[in-house]
């Protein structure tokens, strides 16, 4: 790109803009690096067992992929139509993938139920003393009203 010259013979800002764009492009990766560095800032020492379990569950969900049986069947039917695989192999593959998906889903649901149960116990343990005090205060108030 040729830089235009003004009446004084100096280059216009177009040449400078190109340089500043390069400087900006160099600055962008730094911002991304900082964002990545900020992400794992969770203090491991303060995390409870429940927090770690929830994090593991979240990671399991992030690693999983969900495909409907219909979409899977469409893809396999297309492969059979093109002659890439036999109908029997396609049906077996769809069946195996669906079974595997159901096992993974059941495992995730079981883990989720365990986490919910653990969270309820934790909440109950923290709120029990307050509930007990509130119940006692309500009894005392009822007695005074009689």
pLDDT (tens digit, 0 to 9) for every residue of the chain, 146 residues total?
Answer: 455 555 555 544 444 444 444 444 444 444 444 444 444 444 444 557 777 777 887 887 788 778 899 999 999 999 999 999 999 999 999 999 999 999 988 998 898 898 889 888 989 888 999 999 999 999 999 999 98
Would you say residue 71 lies in a domain? yes
Burial 100-109 (b: 16+ CB within 10 A, else e): ebeeeeeeee
Count of domains for the chain: 1
Give the DSSP letter string of 35-101: HHHHTT---TTT--HHHHHHHHHHHHHHH-----HHHHHHHHHHHHHTTSS-HHHHHHHHHHHHHHH
Tokens of 55: 């994090």
Do 69 and 98 form a contact (C-beta atoms < 8 A)? Answer: yes
Would you say residue 72 lies in a domain? yes
Q: Tell me which residue range forms the domain holding 96.
A: 67-125
Would you say residue 75 lies in a domain? yes
């Amino acid at each position: 790109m040729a830089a235009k010259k003004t009446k004084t013979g100096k280059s216009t800002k177009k040449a400078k803009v190109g340089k500043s764009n390069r400087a900006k492009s160099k600055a962008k990766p730094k911002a991304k690096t900082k964002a990545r560095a900020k992400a794992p800032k969770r203090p491991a020492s303060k995390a409870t067992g429940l927090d770690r379990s929830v994090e593991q569950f979240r990671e399991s969900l992030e690693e999983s992929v969900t495909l409907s049986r219909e979409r899977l069947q469409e893809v396999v039917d297309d492969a059979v139509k093109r002659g890439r695989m036999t109908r029997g192999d396609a049906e077996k593959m769809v069946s195996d993938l669906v079974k595997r998906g159901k096992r993974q889903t059941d495992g995730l649901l079981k883990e989720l139920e365990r986490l919910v149960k653990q969270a309820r116990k934790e909440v109950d343990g923290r709120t029990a003393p307050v509930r007990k005090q509130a119940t006692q205060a309500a009894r005392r108030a009822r007695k005074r009203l009689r």
